[in-house]
Structure 1
């Protein structure tokens, strides 16, 4: 803000808020984030809904990181 002024800083902040998280993260961080989300979802699926912890849901989680149902 000191270098370019308040107008430029405001425009930069507005631009950052318009970006999707995947647009500002590198490939490795996106992969880690997807893996962490899949692990959390897999643990939730096993703990709260054991009847749906099937091989199909586990495979779907491994590929896409979200529950099938």
Structure 2
């Protein structure tokens, strides 16, 4: 995703300049990461495990099951 200079400039001005924009973006990333860690820890404590996949089952890989 490309941002235009005008959009970045406006966002930076809103949060106090370029440094403020960087701190806001980094802080948001840290908050999202921390929330993810807490969610995983909560699932582990409750014994609820869900596999995150892209919808394919790696155990049934058709390439590896073909005879040479």
What TM bracket, shorter-length normalisation?
Answer: 0.3 to 0.5
User: Please, what TM-score do these two structures have when normalized by structure 2?
Assistant: 0.37
Task: Please say which structure displays the higher CA radius of gyration.
Answer: 2
Could you say which structure has the higher helix fraction? 1
Larger relative contact order (Cα-Cα within 8 Å, sequence gap ≥ 6):
1
Q: TM-score, normalised by structure 1?
A: 0.36
